[in-house]
Structure 1
Amino acid sequence: MKVRNPRTGLYDYEISQLSFETLKIKADTMRHAQKSWQAIGIEQRIKTIQRWKKVLERHLEELTEVLIVDTGRKIETVYEINLVLTAIDQFCDLAQDYFKVEVQTILHNNTYHIEEYSDPFELVGIISTWQFPFQSAMMQAIPALLAGNSVLVKPSEKTPRFVRVLEKTISQIPHFNNLLHFIEGEKEVGEMLCSITDLICFTGSEEKARKVFETSAKHFVPAQLAFGGKGAAIVTETADIESASSAILWGGTFNAGQSLESIERVYVHRNIHSQFLSRLVGKSNLLTLNYPNIEYGQIGPIITEKQATNINEQLADAVKKGAVIVAGAEKCIVQKGSIYCRPTILTNVSHHMRIMREMTFGPILPVKSFLNETQALDFANDSNSTFNCSVFAGKDSEAMKIARRIKSKSITINDVYMGNRFYRNEKSSTNAAETKAENIGTFSFKKFLNHKNLMFKK
């Protein structure tokens, strides 16, 4: 399979796909290695991960270069790599405390004594996404390894170039390539992982999450699914317009809007709607494309042609149904093979439009006014999948009152989603319709462990 370069439009890279037999042999080898990995204990596992981190740092320039080619952007790549390196230390610190307690008493009375203990799954399969390819893979792989598992990772076939650099670093740690292995391939390889591993962790679109869930279920392999939703922001009448508009613009356009956590809907109280819109448009117009010089400009290219088509179709549908574009353009532009979407602000939008209901993955911010708190909540909750939401208000108490009634995976007060910056916080889902894995706090490890009970009758 040939892979497209998002900055040139050329198909200048090729990946080869492993056969099922070859992958099965590798999986069996990794299962065997996992037993020793689990047995050495958390202290030695942390030391090994830290040694690998030092090797990664020695190859930082090479890793940065290939990730830039994979995604066509530099600012976000540097951010992504630094975030992962910081997170490795945070995961290691957290694991040191978490794995000190091997057995926990959960019931003790005159009749029974019940203890809970945990074992790793042995072989974890990770299918990661293209928006932040390095971060998406590593935020699952590191806690899975620390929990005592061996890990097979299939990054997106749209952004595969960094795999060969990572494999080079892994090979420098003795026997580590039998504990962590990255494989290239298309969806067929992902389907193979669903049949030969003990747990599947998927990050990506809701559509693909459903397919992974169906495939893994056929083989009775449990699946942890993390898929994006139609992120929303609510701006109340008392909100600080200056800070709210800046935060929302960043949340909607960072990485050209190509993030599972992007803000893709904005609801503003009607009494400040005009003023807010004016500031949002003014700031949006100051953002520039990182073309022709990747060192300058805040907006990188749209990574895949399919994604550009989706953006164009959603914008066309919105305009046809009455939306007004007040900043940006009606469709993506092509610059010598690369595809860009200017930061685009829309008004006069409704929930009958695809752009208000379907994932966009582009720097698009539809802005709609609301009359009161009840209507704002109706708008924000009118989505099958709202991964994250932000509430901006003059007082935290006012924002919290609204936040508690939002059906969202994560809610941020007076800022946009921060879960990818802090790893010690716990989050729980308020939307039973969504099944998503988290990389937050101790759940980072819990999801990679089989929990068992020992019951003693006195």
Structure 2
Amino acid sequence: MTQMTYNRLYLEGDWRRTASSGTIPVYSASTEERIGTVPEAGTADADAAVQAAREAFDDPTGWSTWDPARRAEVLERFAAALEARGAETARRVSLQNGMPITLAEQFEQWFPAVVVRYYSHLMVDLAQEETRPGMLGGSSRVIRQPVGVVAAIVPWNVPQAITFLKLAPALASGCTVVLKPAPETVLDAMLMCEAAAEAGFPAGVLNVVPGGRELGAHLVSHPRVDKVSFTGSTAAGRAIAETCGRLLRPVTLELGGKSAAIVLDDADLHATIESFYAATLLNNGQICWLCTRVLAPRSRYTEVVDTITALASSLSVGDPLDPGTQMGPLVSARQRDRVEGYIAKGLSEGARITTGGGRPKGLDRGWFLEPTVFADVDASHTIAQEEIFGPVLSVIPYSSEEEAVAIANDSEYGLGGTVWTADSDRGEALARRISSGTIGINAYANEPTAP
């Protein structure tokens, strides 16, 4: 495979050499071969990026002061440039993190341009000022203004979709951004930078600094950053929240998940099996909102276990660039080791594997792992409480709806969830009792227009 090698980073509106001599090697998740190299940004590079973003934001005639329609013209060029590179973006993501290409085409090829246009149009149509009558005889003028320099830190699992859930609203509203992509998925970020350069953003509006946790921590605490947006682990999120709390700095966090899929006694999983797969095992189990705890009524427990087992065992595991692949490799050897550690823990605590549990035969290269289903799982088991971030499901029995709600809510997480039922009204009534940010009925989608 031809190596994808970059020797400059997109900083201050141009391609520049880094102050650091470090590099980030990039590997294929399916072959373990090195496929590219990107410069690693150091703290001096991050400082330069923040300074450029600060100057661009503070410019009295710059990006933050432009009429939203004028910003929309640049963002439309950005969206078009992203679309022109969409197929290659999807390919690079699949190579790096193992995402099946058919999924990458949805999340990474098409979504970024769509969300850029959505927020761009939203800002054009949104009133920038409004007057509200006061209670004390006067009135209040409410003015919507960009918050300032945003430090955006994104993970490796759905890198471009998550990048644009941060970039699109920030740029459309007039903020300037310093983006730190994860070191596992930097080749797609560099392609995004090429699109940004083609779009013609003013210098400093968008700056990209690839690096690890130390660089992220430096950005989070930087004195010239106004807002932090982070997606990643709960442990890292707590540390970021502590830092931002001391600094009184606004922060948005999307962290880990251990969401519950409640299968009610009237559910027809066979009729919704594709949606159930998407809500539980999508992207090789490497999505934070997946429902990896499946709660099944005791009256139908064996049937539900058998249905889920058949689903997991039927999935096509292989090369993520093959359109027929439903389950690719995990992102790294370290991630596979982590997931295998949880599988061993599940067995040691008394749960029973009904399918999977090992590495697939015939796939000796790449960080592959079989889709795995555990039965006889107690809600207190480690595999039912901690985020695994791999293709591992735990099926937990319950005796009543009240018990199902209690089990679903017995979690440190509150990100997503689903209810599976033939009666949508019944499903919604139950969903309202779950302590979680979002809930799907017989399906799940992380809808960008929802809070």
Give the TM-score normalised by the residue count of structure 1: 0.86
What's the CA shift for 1:123? 0.8
Kindly provide the amino acid, as one letter, of the partner of residue 247 in structure 1: S
Change (3 A) 1:104 1:353: same
- Matched residue count: 421
Q: Give structure 2 stretches of 5+ with no counterpart.
A: 1-23
Question: How many Å separate the matches in 2 of 1:173 and 1:249?
Answer: 38
1:395 Cα deviation after fit: 1.4
Change (3 A) 1:20 1:321: closer
Determine if the alignment matches structure 1 residue 128 to structure 2 residue 154: yes
Instruction: Indicate the residue corresponding to 2:240 in structure 1.
Output: 212
TM-score by length of 2: 0.87
Give, in angstroms, the shift of residue 406 of structure 1: 0.6
Partner in structure 2 of residue 443 of structure 1: none
**CA distance in structure 1 between the partners assigned to 2:136 and 2:281 by the alignment:** 60
| 1:357 has 2:360 as partner | no
**Contact (CA 8 Å) 1:37, 1:45: kept in 2 or not?**
yes
Q: Deviations over 1:133-171 (max 9, x none)?
A: 111111110110001101111011121111222222212
**Equivalent residue, structure 1, for 2:131:** 105
2:193 maps to 167
Distance in 2, matches of 1:109 and 1:293, equals: 61
Which segment drifts farther, 337-346 or 152-161? 337-346
| Residue in 2 that maps onto 1:300 | 328
Please name the residue that 1:454 is paired with. Answer: none
**How do 1:76-155 residues align onto structure 2 when only pairs under 5 Å count?**
76-80=103-107, 81-98=109-126, 101-155=127-181
**Superposition pairs for residues 229-268 of structure 1, below 5 Å?**
229-268=257-296
What is the Cα deviation at residue 301 of structure 1?
A: 0.5
Match of 1:38 in 2: 64
2-side partners of 1:187 and 1:372: how far apart? 44
Letter matched to residue 240 of structure 2 = V
Aligned mate of 2:48, from 25, 50, 62: 25
Q: Find 2:428's aligned residue among 385, 396, 400.
A: 400
Q: What is the CA–CA distance in structure 2 between the aligned matches of 1:342 and 1:293, rounded to whole Å?
A: 18
Q: Give the unaligned 5+ runs of structure 1.
A: 428-458
Aligned partner of 2:445 in structure 1 is: 418
Q: Please, which of 365, 376, 384 is the counterpart of residue 337 of structure 1?
A: 365
Quick check: 1:178 aligned with 2:197? Answer: no
RMSD: 2.1
Checking the alignment, whether the CA contact within 8 Å between 1:3 and 1:14 is kept in structure 2 is: yes
Q: Matches of 2:148 and 2:354 in 1, distance apart?
A: 53
Q: Evaluate the alpha carbon distance shift between residue 311 and residue 239 of structure 1 in structure 2; reply closer, same or farther with a 3 A threshold.
A: same
Q: Secondary structure at the match of 2:271?
A: helix
Cα distance, 1:29–1:242 mapped onto 2, change above 3 Å = same
> 1:175/1:136 Cα in 2 relative to 1: closer, same or farther (>3 Å)?
closer
Q: Which has the higher contact order (CA 8 A, sep 6+)?
A: 1
Q: For each residue in 1:67-106, what CA deviation from the matched residue of structure 2 results, as whole angstroms up to 9, or x when unmatched?
A: 22222332221111222222223223322222xx222334
Q: Give secondary structure in 1 for the equivalent of 2:114.
A: helix
Closer/same/farther in 2, CA of residues 64 and 404 from structure 1, 3 Å limit: closer
1:453 corresponds in structure 2 to none
Shift of residue 348, structure 1, vs aligned partner: 0.3
Q: Distance in 2 between matches of 1:386 and 1:218?
A: 25
Shift of 1:30: 2.1
Deviation (angstroms), 1:331: 5.8
Distance 1:248 1:139 in 2: 25
Structure 1 residue 219: Cα displacement: 4.0
Q: Conserved in 1, the CA contact under 8 Å of 2:97 and 2:332? A: no
Distance in 1 (alpha carbons) for counterparts of 2:148 and 2:330: 37
Query: SS where residue 207 of structure 2 aligns?
Result: strand
- Counterparts of 1:183-202 in structure 2, within 5 Å, are 183-194=209-220, 195=222, 196-202=224-230
Listed one character per residue, the Cα deviations across residues 372-406 of structure 1 (whole Å, up to 9, x for unaligned) are: 01110111011011211101122122112211111
DSSP 3-state at the match of 1:340: coil
Tell me, yes or no, if the aligned pair for 1:71 and 1:303 is still in contact at 8 Å.
Answer: yes
Cα contact 2:94–2:320 (8 A) shared by 1: no
CA distance in 1, matches of 2:350, 2:49: 55
Separation of aligned partners in 1, 2:439 and 2:429: 12
The separation in 1 between residues aligned to 2:391 and 2:42, in whole angstroms, is 38
- Runs of 4+ in structure 1 deviating by more than 6 angstroms, as ranges, are none
> Is the counterpart of residue 63 in structure 1 residue 76 in structure 2?
no
Distance 1:242 1:65 in 2: 32
Q: Percent identity?
A: 22
Counterpart selection for 1:10 from 30, 33, 40: 33
